[in-house]
Structure 1
Amino acid sequence: MRIAVLGGGPGGLYFAYLWKKRHPAAAIDLFEQNAEGATFGFGVVFSDQALEFLRADDPDTVQAIAPRMESWNNITLNLRGESVEIDGVGFSSIGRLELLTILQQRVRLAGVAPRYDTAIGSVEALQGYDLIVAADGLNSLVRRSFEREFCASVTHSTNRFAWYGTGKRFATLSQTFVRTERGAFNAHHYRYSPDMSTFLVECDAATWQAYGFEHKSIEQSKAICEQIFAATLEGHPLLSNKSVWRNFPWIWNERWSHRNMVLIGDALHSAHFSIGSGTRLAIEDAIALTKALEAEANIPAGLARYENERKPVVKKLVTAARTSADWYEHFPEHMKLDLMDFAYSYITRSGRIDDARLRAMSPAFMARYEASRTRS
């Protein structure tokens, strides 16, 4: 089988690795338009459950990744100079470039040589392949070329965010909410290596306009964010890597394949960064596609199976991500709550955690929250 994989992110790399490892005779060409070692962003985060899914299917890759990861068991929320920890919420993180480097090594060991600095200008350039796996991200060439056939939908959240890094080390995955005279900001921050952290800054549209970020350079925006979060950063500067202000894009495709082309990862769907599942979903897509193709006698049947089995799982998680994102769209209003009510609103925002689950998962937090309700 001849396979073309578009995109050298986690999803594309992992599918190429997995298929070649299990089918050594397959001819796989992986095309990535950017240079090797180029990446957007800083760290990526996985929940404990996300790592377990990969461990079950590919313990060797987890063994390669896990020693490079930073891990913690609590979430910390900071509001009006007060803090509260929510226990029992385990996460691990790794630098995006480091994750890509590990996957690149595994792809090469399996026998695939990625072609970097290779932009594919049109789908017609890929004739002759039995299967085209579009792992080419939010601006997917394949999806854009056949939007009607994929029943593609692309919308955007109203909030703006900029993705920075910093040398400040944070003990846990943390959220810091700050109100200024011109509006409210939120920072999502967590360490992803012994000496580096992700620091993603978010604000609503009104605040973004009030600060005139539309007319600010990347350096000017960074300086403003450093000032707003000076107490959190404790003198550490923010670091930029294409850190422009963005609206989060919501990608969804009702049909997942067309002819011999199939979508995975961000080309297929997006999940808001507040639930930290984008990389997980892309890798899970690669696993599901591999298994579906192996279970059927031909490619069309395998692609149909991939969609039928995977879509309900993804739709459930994307729905939770949209609910979570909606909470963030209104976070300045939530900031009016007292600390414990705010924290409870935050941890239950996706609709997947009720009081019974919260008591079992986060007993220390829930005891503190219920005590605060008794006092009030």
Structure 2
Amino acid sequence: MQPRRVAVLGGGPGGLYAARLLKLANPACEVRVHEQGGADTTFGFGVGLAAGTQRRLAAADPDTLRELVATGLRHDSTMQVGGRVARVRNDRLIGIARTDLLAVLQRHAEKAGVELGFGVRRSAAELDADVVIAADGVSSATRASGGFGGRIETGRGLYLWCGTDFPLDDAVFAPVETEHGVFVTHAYPYSGGRSTFLVETDERTWRRAGFDATTAATGPEDSDQTSLRYLEQVFAGQLRGRPLIGNRTRWLRFRTVRCDRWSQGNTVLLGDAAHTAHFSVGSGTKLAMEDAIALVDALREAPDAGTAFDRYEAARRPWVERLQELARRSQLWWESFPSRLGLPVERLMVAYMSRAGNVPLDRFARTSPDVVGAALRQYGDDGPGTDDLVDRIIGTPLVHGARSFPDRTAVPALPRLHADLHDPWSPEGDALVARARGTDGVLITGPDDRPALLTRLDLAERVRCETGVLTAVQGTAGLRDDLAAGLISGRTDLVALTEESA
């Protein structure tokens, strides 16, 4: 279709990018962005653009990507635990200041002929347009107005976003134990000589530190200065004695947004307005800009708006839901992170990379052989024998208390714990952990499919960490890679291989 007039609600990355692509695809169309904030007003710090996202942006709009890459800052990733560091190389990952990102997108939108309006709040209902793109964020007023079947799930853990006035050498994942509990930072450098510094903790630690009270006392326009000053001391090593910078910084719980429908009438949702995925998979800007590409493609090819919206949703929803599932697993992993601090840093890095089931162990071993090699030695592999990584892991002997096992498939007769659940840290998971406590060990069984196996491995890790009993997980031979990743990551002690049921 060739709309005459398109209105975009929200001047974030997704809205600006959609506006530019629309104008490039249909120069005769009037495209206007309505942003309630000022042109120079933004919240947050740096944004990460991974290699896959850059490839998609290159195909859709190489001019914009070229400037983003030139503006951004490339960095590797490190895990820092107890004075030891594990490093992972990243070929094309860049960090860019959110202000720089928006400035680039604003310039390129205006260059294409998009009209930008700032400082006035608009609603979809009041706009005279053939198509209204609602890119108005996680708190979308458009979604809240109804008709989209929106739902929000709130996470258990707490986090806050802040920044530093200097660039870290690399992205840093670092837990620190305090008198109240464990705080962990995800921090990374970005353009402009600064770094994003995100901190997570669990509710018990948050309350012990008194941050429930400081959160309640922090106004909506303010930053929680008490928390910032405390965290400066907690992460003094990573901060090199420098301060933390706030920008409406307060403790939050992550909100996962899902919608039954992404369009209603002439209005279509884009980015966080339609869906969110936990920040630990670096997804917000990625999803919004990739949504923009798919939406503009659908509008270009479809005969009318309704058909275009249906095609857009059909193309994007499977990708979004897949990423949301990966993000859900990653979120659960981070919310239970303190239980893993007994692992050496290299094994912890392997656990981190395999936490959502998205990074195959053999691929990670090819890109980071030093990390995986150290993790194998810590796990107990002595090096000689087969070159097949999975065989080596599964074939490694185990000593557990007074018992010895020649390899990780030598599962003794153990009580079975059948698990068919969505969340290992739910009340149902609590009950299964309680049943395992005080036994000589458990064999955790369940459905054959891969998602169920990944959940069993998470439950097994919880059983291992909280009870100390010997833990085995049943899985089909076709999922040996996932079972091996679970073994080296400390999620289970043994694995029981079965044939896949008919």
Matched, 1:357 2:355: no
Give the C-alpha shift of residue 272 in structure 1: 1.2
Matched, 1:171 2:173: no
Could you say which residue in structure 1 is the equivalent of 2:65?
62
> Which structure's CA Rg is the greater one?
2
Task: Deviation per CA, 1:261-317: give whole Å up to 9, x if none.
Answer: 100100011111111121011000000000011111111111111011111111111
* Alignment CA distance shift 1:346-1:298 (3 Å): same
What secondary structure is seen at the aligned counterpart in 2 of 1:182?
coil
Moved over 6 A (4+): none
Matched, 1:282 2:285: no
Q: Which has the higher strand share?
A: 1
- Report the number of matched residues: 371
Q: Distance in 2 between matches of 1:57 and 1:286?
A: 10
Q: Distance in 2 between matches of 1:308 and 1:68?
A: 34
Could you say which residue in structure 1 is the equivalent of 2:74?
71
Q: Distance in 2 between matches of 1:110 and 1:331?
A: 46
Could you say which residue in structure 2 is the equivalent of 1:141?
141
What secondary structure is seen at the aligned counterpart in 1 of 2:106?
helix
* Alignment CA distance shift 1:61-1:332 (3 Å): same
Q: Distance in 2 between matches of 1:338 and 1:366?
A: 12
* Alignment CA distance shift 1:176-1:191 (3 Å): same
What secondary structure is seen at the aligned counterpart in 1 of 2:359?
coil
Q: Distance in 2 between matches of 1:210 and 1:90?
A: 40
Kindly indicate whether the alpha-carbon contact (under 8 Å) linking 2:37 and 2:120 is maintained by their aligned counterparts in 1: yes
Could you say which residue in structure 2 is the equivalent of 1:100?
102
What secondary structure is seen at the aligned counterpart in 1 of 2:334?
helix
Give the C-alpha shift of residue 364 in structure 1: 2.4
Could you say which residue in structure 1 is the equivalent of 2:148?
150
Matched, 1:227 2:229: no
Q: Within 5 Å, give how 1:303-322 maps onto structure 2.
A: 303-322=309-328
Q: Which amino acid aligns with 1:207?
A: T
Kindly indicate whether the alpha-carbon contact (under 8 Å) linking 2:5 and 2:29 is maintained by their aligned counterparts in 1: yes
Give TM-score, length-normalised by structure 1.
0.95
Matched, 1:207 2:202: no
Q: Which amino acid aligns with 1:286?
A: A
Q: Which amino acid aligns with 2:115?
A: A
Task: Deviation per CA, 1:236-280: give whole Å up to 9, x if none.
Answer: 111111111111110111211111110010001111111112101
Give the C-alpha shift of residue 113 in structure 1: 2.1
Q: Any stretches of 5+ residues in structure 1 without a counterpart?
A: none
Matched, 1:28 2:31: yes
Kindly indicate whether the alpha-carbon contact (under 8 Å) linking 2:43 and 2:247 is maintained by their aligned counterparts in 1: yes
Task: Deviation per CA, 1:128-187: give whole Å up to 9, x if none.
Answer: 3211100000111110001xx312110111111111110232221111111112111011
Kindly indicate whether the alpha-carbon contact (under 8 Å) linking 1:71 and 1:91 is maintained by their aligned counterparts in 2: yes
* Alignment CA distance shift 1:366-1:341 (3 Å): closer
Matched, 1:247 2:253: yes
Kindly indicate whether the alpha-carbon contact (under 8 Å) linking 2:163 and 2:196 is maintained by their aligned counterparts in 1: yes
What secondary structure is seen at the aligned counterpart in 1 of 2:42?
coil
Q: Distance in 2 between matches of 1:66 and 1:123?
A: 34
Instruction: Identify the range of structure 1 (225-234 vs 364-373) with the bigger mean alpha-carbon deviation.
Output: 364-373
Q: Distance in 2 between matches of 1:173 and 1:226?
A: 18
Q: Distance in 1 between matches of 2:318 and 2:91?
A: 25
Could you say which residue in structure 2 is the equivalent of 1:130?
130
Give the C-alpha shift of residue 89 in structure 1: 6.4
Q: Distance in 2 between matches of 1:261 and 1:14?
A: 17
Percentage of pairs with the same residue:
37
What secondary structure is seen at the aligned counterpart in 2 of 1:114?
strand
Matched, 1:292 2:298: yes
Task: Deviation per CA, 1:28-47: give whole Å up to 9, x if none.
Answer: 22111111111111000011
Q: Any stretches of 5+ residues in structure 2 without a counterpart?
A: 219-223, 383-397, 399-502
Matched, 1:3 2:15: no
Kindly indicate whether the alpha-carbon contact (under 8 Å) linking 2:20 and 2:109 is maintained by their aligned counterparts in 1: yes
Matched, 1:15 2:18: yes
